Amino acid sequence: MLANPDAVAFRREVSAVFDEDLFFPSLTVREHLLLVARGHSLPDPEEQVEEELSFFGLQERADVVPESLSSGQRRRTLLAAGLMRPASLLILDEPEQRLDPVMREALGRRVRSLANGGATVVLVTHDPQLLLDTATSCLVIDDEVTLATSEVAAAIIAGA
């Protein structure tokens, strides 16, 4: 029995991608994404998985286990799994890590689209451009926590 029965409903509304690579070692990239898609009852899970594989450029590596991927490909696999889940709250911890500039830009557009669609996104980043592309409000956490505009926060991140 759960200590808090509301926890299950809350967890269904939250998707998070942290900095750690967490995979089932015997599942391929495709199988990982299918597990997420089917586990969250996405309509047409195979099609959803193919869309994520395409978006993240993983089609050619879809049938290998994550251990065989580069660190950037593993990061894209984690992001694909996190972004395909239906969620009203999306938590992303430095999602830009190990991504090339083109994928960072695509990720920024995708995160902005999710936020525009009604999701709340909590994004931790050290990338000024990703911040400018996605944020409507910012908390700058240093010796103290301050509320800042995206432009001010991006300048702080950039060291200006």
What is the per-residue pLDDT for 20? Answer: 83
Name, in order, each residue with C-beta under 8 angstroms of 150's C-beta and a sequence gap of 6 or more: 131, 132, 135, 136, 137, 138
pLDDT at residue number 2: 55
Look at residue 128 in the predicted model and tell me its pLDDT: 94
**pLDDT value of position 11:** 82
Which segments of the chain have a pLDDT < 50?
1
> Which amino acid, 77?
T
Q: Where do the domains of the chain lie, and which CATH numbers do they carry?
A: 6-124 (3.40.50.300)
Nearest one of 37, 38, 75 to 58, comparing CA atoms:
75
The pLDDT assigned to 150 comes to 93
pLDDT given for residue 91 in this prediction: 96
- Alpha carbons 7 and 124: distance in angstroms, whole number: 24
Residue type, 100: D
139 — phi, psi (to 5°)? -110, 125
Per-residue confidence (pLDDT) for residue 160, from 0 to 100: 67
pLDDT of residue 142: 84
Residue-level pLDDT at 9: 80
Please tell me the predicted confidence (pLDDT) of residue 25.
Answer: 86
Return phi, psi of residue 146, to 5°.
-130, 145
